[in-house]
A and B are shown apart, each in its own frame.
Chain A
Amino acid sequence: SAVISQKPSRDICQRGTSLTIQCQVDSQVTMMFWYRQQPGQSLTLIATANQGSEATYESGFVIDKFPISRPNLTFSTLTVSNMSPEDSSIYLCSVVPLAAPTDTQYFGPGTRLTVL
């Protein structure tokens, strides 16, 4: 597997502001994904972070609201823009390590976001 860190681990934000979440991996990965887990619900994929090109968004998620960057094989950011209380969730990045024997996704510890 890979060691995945996310910053910040948690934050409390005001409505209308933006927050950028970082995901850093200790080894090169092929795929990076961003998921959301709203309170009491399952994990939902937001987008696939593509290195050097625009992210691929799932239905219901748009680039203006969730801009994503992936400048290299070990780092990605997700921004939650113009936040509202409905954006209060745990945001998780996941990766598929380049050297892994199987293409299993491993998850970071998550960023717990509360929007007031």
Chain B
Amino acid sequence: DQQVKQNSPSLSVQEGRISILNCDYTNSMFDYFLWYKKYPAEGPTFLISISSIKDKNEDGRFTVFLNKSAKHLSLHIVPSQPGDSAVYFCAASETSGSRLTFGEGTQLTVNP
């Protein structure tokens, strides 16, 4: 049972444009959501998080939107840069600091 799903295995975007990565979840107990970026041969790097009491959180070029009724969240990167090319993982937990359930990841490629 895949409780966190990222339906797009890959996304290709032009430099300077917006990248939108999507994530859906099924467990209504999830209360805290995070996005991680992963380069090959490295551990995941934390990007941004959001708790269920909010519908938007912004940090520089990164914005996460949460639609709790639709059980859907998205990560927007504006403007996209070639260095953003990596695998992006969506993760969820029932409380902050507790066990994480990850999606399958989306490979983002930003073309110069």
Contacts and interface: CB of A to CB of B under 8 A. Distances in A.
Majority DSSP secondary structure for residues of A touching B:
strand
Interface residues of B, number: 23
B80 interface: no
B100 A102 contact: no
Contact of B43 (A45, A48, A92, A102): A92
Instruction: State which size class the interface on A falls in.
Output: 20 to 34
Of A106, A107, A110, most B-chain CB atoms within 10 Å: A107
Majority DSSP secondary structure for residues of B touching A:
loop
A11 to B, nearest CB: 14
Interface string A20-63: 00000000001101000000011111001000000000100000
Given A31-B97, A43-B89, A104-B49, A109 B42 contact: yes
Interface of B: 32, 34, 36, 41-46, 49, 89, 91, 95-105
Interface of A: 1, 4, 30-31, 33, 41-45, 48, 58, 92, 94, 96, 102-110, 112
